[in-house]
Chain A
Amino acid sequence: MELPEINTKINVTDDLKTALKIGDEWSYLLFFECMEMFRESELSASYWKGEDDWMTLLNGNRIIAYIWRRCPLMFVDEKSIFVIKKIIDDKYRLVSISTSDLERDVFKIDEDFHLIDFDSGFDKMSFSAEDFWYFTNDSV
């Protein structure tokens, strides 16, 4: 007997809506404060001003999180949450979406969610944290 396919994608629409509402001083002030804190830590943060829309956070060569400049949203490798929170604590009200693998297609958003412009090729019904970064990073 063939078993029905179980859709186990995590719907992150509400997380995105929440982060997009917070806006405030994030994109021009707090994002950069946050980046400085990471740069002073054992982690490294890469952000090309005027070119990137996301900060890439690395531990050695391994990407452990993507942090959006547009709003306080972070996709984070769940194994690195503690080390990240230890550096920036909770004062930035970052909406965190964690995953065991940033490259795995475990997320989805509502089809009728149009608050974000994605580059063509983005699949709203199945994407990874990396996909989200990849399809929005040029939209500064």
Chain B
Amino acid sequence: MVGGVQGKSIFYPTLDAEKAVLKAAQKADELGLWIGNKAKVTVTNTNIGTLGNGQPTNVINVYKNSKGTIHGAPGN
């Protein structure tokens, strides 16, 4: 499941957001970025969406649960 922070941030429509969130979760696993069941993952060389204030961002917030579901949103 993919989304932005409701009413605040949004992935670029041209981005395959589901794929980006999955890759971000993998990266979080590899780099040990999880704080509990959430992680901030920085994407190098490209922005992935905008924050609520219109600022572009290259950070994906990823959230997971023990049932194997993940979702993500552009973060800062």
Size bin of chain A's contact surface: 20 to 34
Instruction: Return A102 CB to nearest CB of chain B, in Å.
Output: 9
Stretch at the interface among A7-15, A45-53, A81-89: A45-53
Contact across chains for B6 and A134 when beta carbons are under 8 A apart? no
Q: Which A residues form the contact surface with B (CB < 8 A)?
A: 46, 48, 50-52, 56, 58, 61, 63, 103, 119-121, 128, 130-131, 134, 137-140
Contact across chains for B35 and A137 when beta carbons are under 8 A apart? no
Known A48-B75, A51-B75; contact A130-B37, beta-carbon cutoff 8 A = yes
Distance in angstroms between the alpha carbons of A139 and B63 in the assembled complex:
13
The secondary structure that dominates the B interface is: loop
Distance in angstroms between the alpha carbons of A138 and B1 in the assembled complex:
12
Asked if B44 lies at the interface with its beta carbon under 8 angstroms from chain A, I say no
Q: Which B residues form the contact surface with A (CB < 8 A)?
A: 1, 3, 5-6, 8, 35-38, 40, 52, 61, 63, 65-67, 69, 71, 73, 75-76
* Residue on A nearest B74 in the bound complex, by CB: A51
Distance in angstroms between the alpha carbons of A61 and B35 in the assembled complex:
7
Instruction: Return A119 CB to nearest CB of chain B, in Å.
Output: 7
